[in-house]
Amino acid sequence: MTSIRAIVTDIEGTTSSISFVKDVLFPYARKRLPAYVETHADKPEVQHWLHEAAKEADLIEASRQEVIELLLRWIDEDRKSTALKALQGMIWKDGYEEGEYRAHMYPEVAARLHAWRGDGLHLYVYSSGSVPAQKLFFRYSEAGDLTPVFAGYFDTETGPKREAESYRRIVEAIGERPEHVLFLSDIAEELDAARSAGLQTGWLLRPPLEVPAQPRHPAYTSFDAIQP
Ligand SMILES: CSCCC(=O)C(=O)COP(=O)(O)O
Ligand SMILES: [Mg+2]
């Protein structure tokens, strides 16, 4: 791997366990979503994302209750909807601030992020979670506040994670040539899209996942094995 100047990392399955997201964050949002929507329905931001969710589902003139039921179904399906992710992020804020949970980090991640930053690399996040949710995630992490290491955040408002165009937009936004940018993810289809846009790729296969004999992307079981 040569001349990496920037690293863009995914979150779930890459810096942090899938189980923290599925077993802690999703149930927290699921339980509170109906009351949150009812009590915040006058907030323009909430109205905007409820409208976007209804539009995404082609629900014409849906009642608030119908949209709530739609969002609960989407949480159960782990749908990577920008509208759902925005609303989840708003709900998770209370949980972080009240100390209900801290975001899981694999043990080597914080030290490795600091080391890469210390080496002059520019670090970014690209996740299906909304940008505000990403900032909360790294601010309230088990390893302390990691937001100072990141230069920027991208979510699906930039585009879907399995489309090459999203990665072209990201490299343009960060002002690097794609071959100087390393994208890290646990999902091969996201890495395929990044590679199509010219980025270098690193496939995180955290134990107990096994590295295939001939992985289609450079594969790592931990950030410590990556030498940018
Ligand atoms: C940072 S918000 C919690 C994670 C989340 O909702 C999510 O969908 C993560 O997906 P990723 O793209 O990071 O695999
Ligand atoms: Mg992921």
Same domain, 168 and 204: yes
| Amino acid in position 118 | G
pLDDT recorded at residue 61: 87
Please return the burial class of 212, using the count of CB atoms within 10 Å of its CB with bins 0-12, 13-18 and 19+. Answer: exposed
Å from CA of 225 to ligand 1 middle? 23
pLDDT recorded at residue 2: 61
Count up the domains in the chain and report the number: 2
Same domain, 116 and 92: no
Same domain, 86 and 181: no
Same domain, 162 and 198: yes
CB 178 within 8 A of CB 171: yes
pLDDT recorded at residue 52: 95
Which residues, given as ranges, of the chain have pLDDT below 70? 1-2
pLDDT recorded at residue 113: 98
Same domain, 119 and 198: yes
The answer to whether residue 137 is domain-embedded is yes
The answer to whether residue 108 is domain-embedded is yes
Same domain, 149 and 221: yes
Out of 11, 101, 131, mutate this one to test ligand 1's pocket (max ligand atoms within 8 Å of CB): namely 11
Å from CA of 11 to ligand 1 middle? 6
Same domain, 112 and 217: yes
Å from CA of 183 to ligand 1 middle? 15
Å from CA of 178 to ligand 2 middle? 20
Give which of 4, 24, 11 is closest to 190, Cα–Cα: 11
Question: Angle at Cα 40 formed by Cα 36 and Cα 42, nearest 5°?
Answer: 155
**Ligand 1 atom at minimal distance to the Cα of residue 186:** 14
Q: Which of 97, 113, 142 marks a domain boundary? A: 97
Instruction: Tell me what ipTM this predicted complex has.
Output: 0.97
Instruction: Provide the domain limits for residue 36.
Output: 20-97
Which residue's alpha carbon is nearest to atom 2 within ligand 1? 129
Same domain, 125 and 196: yes
Q: pLDDT (tens digit, 9 = 90+) per residue, 182-228?
A: 999 999 999 999 999 999 999 999 999 999 999 999 999 999 999 99
DSSP-H helix ranges across the chain = 18-20, 26-39, 44-56, 64-77, 82-97, 109-118, 131-139, 164-174, 188-196
Q: What is the CATH number of the domain that holds 190?
A: 3.40.50.1000
Q: Which of 47, 72, 97 marks a domain boundary? A: 97
pLDDT recorded at residue 60: 81
Instruction: Return the DSSP state at 212.
Output: -
Tokens encoding 61: 């003139």
The answer to whether residue 62 is domain-embedded is yes
Same domain, 135 and 214: yes
Same domain, 83 and 176: no
Ligand with an atom nearest the CA of residue 141? 1
Which residue's alpha carbon is nearest to atom 5 within ligand 1? 129
The answer to whether residue 135 is domain-embedded is yes
**Ligand 1 atom at minimal distance to the Cα of residue 134:** 1
Same domain, 138 and 197: yes
Q: What is the CATH number of the domain that holds 43?
A: 1.10.720.60
Å from CA of 25 to ligand 1 middle? 10
Q: 43 by DSSP, 3-state: which?
A: coil
pTM of the model: 0.96
**Ligand 1 atom at minimal distance to the Cα of residue 78:** 8
Ligand 1 site residues, Cβ closer than 6 angstroms: 10-13, 21, 25, 80, 85, 127-129, 133-134, 137, 161
- Angle formed by the axes of helices 82-97 and 64-77, to 10°? 80
Å from CA of 10 to ligand 1 middle? 8
The answer to whether residue 1 is domain-embedded is no
Q: Which of 66, 97, 128 marks a domain boundary? A: 97
Same domain, 120 and 12: yes
